[in-house]
Amino acid sequence: MNRQPRKQRQPVPREADAGLDVDELLWGIHPVLEVMQHHPRRLSEILIQRGKTGTKYQEIIDLARTHQVRLRFVEAGRLGVPGHYSHQGVVARQAAIQLQTLPDLLASAQDATEAKNSLPRLLVLDSIQDPRNLGAILRSALAAGFTSVLLTRERSAPLSGTVARTSAGAINQLQIGQVVNLAEALKEIREQGFWVFGAVLDPEAISVYAADLRVPLCLVIGSEGKGIRPLVRKQCDQLITIPMEGDFDSLNVSVAAAIIMFEAVRQQRSPGTGR
């Protein structure tokens, strides 16, 4: 009796890598180094295999830190590309768009609103980690007239193809920047005349419907699980919340962001401005 050959079981991708789209990735020392030398803002993240050393690796690391590109050191199996790819222990994720510096982002927010004779609106996202949530928020932001968005470099979902697809193209029409230290960035934003409102789940915070949002507005939305981080929260001029009926006290972060953004637009289009 002849035995049938056993089928080879296909490897199952790790959960952390299963969502990666190889089309978004760039790999190999020289390709990644060349982009970092000439177009660093085209990359949103660089992964380097643990234990890799040498002049070229160090140059990539130094450039990533200089240009504030997210940098992670991972095991070989977490690089996100099949093992037979000649990645040399270096993989970069290409940004869906070119990112802005904070000064350029603030200038864009002012220019956009002056053209429309409206108040400036800036959306700040503190560590949104789900790419679909991020994409949905960007889609709502564009619809509500928030043309400028600031993200944290660490702990945030990279601006990947998933984000771009979920945003339904909004990502290409927004001015988006990243910063390392969000608390410090908010200080600079306040110095530029913005009022910083932090959206929280807190019964002691003022209702979004009672808050006066008819000002140069910087709206901070926190992460899915922990919300706005404590140091970021301290930089907010006022904490606002969405009142909810009964014992229900939780909304998806993209839904909550949309509600608050459109309430801000409603107020700003009403007669009268300022506090």
- CATH number of the domain enclosing 150: 3.40.1280.10
Do 135 and 88 belong to one domain? no
- CA–CA separation, 226 vs 111, rounded Å? 33
C-alpha gyration radius of the chain: 21
Read off the pLDDT of residues 109-139 as tens digits, 9 standing for 90 and up.
887 776 676 789 999 999 999 999 999 999 9
Do 211 and 192 belong to one domain? yes
Task: List the one residue out of 32, 82, 83, 80 whose CA is nearest residue 59.
Answer: 32
206: pLDDT confidence band, cut at 50, 70 and 90? very high
**Are the beta carbons of 67 and 41 closer than 8 angstroms?**
yes
Do 110 and 238 belong to one domain? yes
- CATH number of the domain enclosing 29: 3.30.1330.30
pTM score above 0.75:
no
Do 38 and 160 belong to one domain? no
Q: Which domain holds residue 79?
A: 22-94
271: pLDDT confidence band, cut at 50, 70 and 90? low
φ, ψ of residue 196 in degrees (nearest 5)? -100, 120
Do 178 and 61 belong to one domain? no
Do 67 and 130 belong to one domain? no
Read off the pLDDT of residues 65-94 as tens digits, 9 standing for 90 and up.
998 888 999 998 888 887 777 889 999 987
Last-in-domain residue among 33, 67, 94: 94
Do 27 and 108 belong to one domain? no
Query: 246-249: long-range contacts (C-beta < 8 A, 24 or more apart)?
Result: 249/201
Q: Which two tokens stand for residue 54?
A: 């040498």
Residue 133 has, within 13 A of its CA and on its CB side, a CA count of 20
